[in-house]
Amino acid sequence: MGNTILITEDEKSYLRSLSQYFKLLGFTVHSATNCKDTIRLAAEHLPDCFLLDYNLGDETVAPACLFIRSHSQLRSAPIIVLSGAHEMAEECYNNCNADLFLEKGKPFTEVGAAVKRQIRRMTAQPPVKLSDIVICEERLSVLREGYSEILLSAEQFKLFLLLFRKSPKFVSEDEICAAVLNSDCAGKREAINMLVYRLRSRLGLQLGKRIKSMKRLGWAYVQPRVRGEAPPNSSSETAIQ
């Protein structure tokens, strides 16, 4: 079982107490008081588990969680989020993609047991093939490991999310019109082409070229093959653009 934990807490006395407790349990502990240091330490030390206070002064820990979930070596690490208010649980789960929410004030023995359970659960699961990007619906953004967060317009985000969720299947222009443009497709082909063009431009060359089109089938988001993976069956109907 992994024994490295990153604890983020802006209340320094509570952070010291948590850190000392987990050191007594045999953990290697790294600590931070803000999002920036959380991201830096996560990238540097690749912890086995994260114990993160949700509210950090004028910011929340959500951007750090987004970084963790986008990192190929961290994305399966358990994220346990702490808050002093139990009514924040849903917001923490939604914004942080957390594995567990704990209300502050619980005995350290309960916190320690929860961390150990999450690490055991993670190590018992077989590896899962995941995309190399993370989508944040709260911020209408896309994050890829090693790259800056990409903020999209509402229409661009709706289109990208639709294609991503349907991938690798093609999405017809009728479905795009209904889901993204909220109308039928009469005279909308040019509007779709322009929306795709702007989305590709916003995503940049490497991500933008994953959005493909095929005559009579529509549009698709195509994730690059893992090295050694067999190529998909090709269609002789029309070349993918």
* Mutual angle of helices 35-45 and 62-70, in 10-degree steps: 20
> In terms of Cα–Cα distance, which of 26, 18, 23, 11 is closest to 56?
11
Residue 75: pLDDT band (50, 70, 90) is confident
109 with 188, same domain: the answer is no
CA angle 93/68/222 to nearest 5° reads 95
**Mean pLDDT calculated for residue range 140-151:** 81
Q: State which amino acid sits at residue 191.
A: A
Residue 200 belongs to a domain: yes
55 with 94, same domain: the answer is yes
* Per-residue pLDDT tens over the stretch 77-97: 999 999 887 777 888 788 888
Residue 73 belongs to a domain: yes
Residue 206 belongs to a domain: yes
Residue 235 belongs to a domain: yes
CA angle 7/10/11 to nearest 5° reads 100
Residue 145 belongs to a domain: no
- Specify the pLDDT at position 185: 65
SS3 content of the chain, % helix, strand, coil (to 5): 40, 20, 40
- Specify the pLDDT at position 179: 85
Unique residue bearing structure tokens 């996560």: 42
Residue 132 belongs to a domain: no
Based on the structure, what is the number of domains in the chain? 2
CATH of the domain at 38: 3.40.50.2300
Residue 230 belongs to a domain: yes
Residue 135 belongs to a domain: no
* Per-residue pLDDT tens over the stretch 152-173: 999 999 999 899 888 888 998 8
* Per-residue pLDDT tens over the stretch 88-122: 788 878 888 888 999 888 899 999 999 999 988 87
| Rg (alpha carbons) of the chain, rounded to whole number | 21
* Mutual angle of helices 62-70 and 89-96, in 10-degree steps: 40
Full domain range(s) for residue 160: 152-241
Residues 6+ apart with CB under 8 A from 101: 80, 81, 82, 83, 88, 89, 92, 93
**Mean pLDDT calculated for residue range 19-39:** 95
> Among 81, 104, 124, which residue terminates a domain?
124
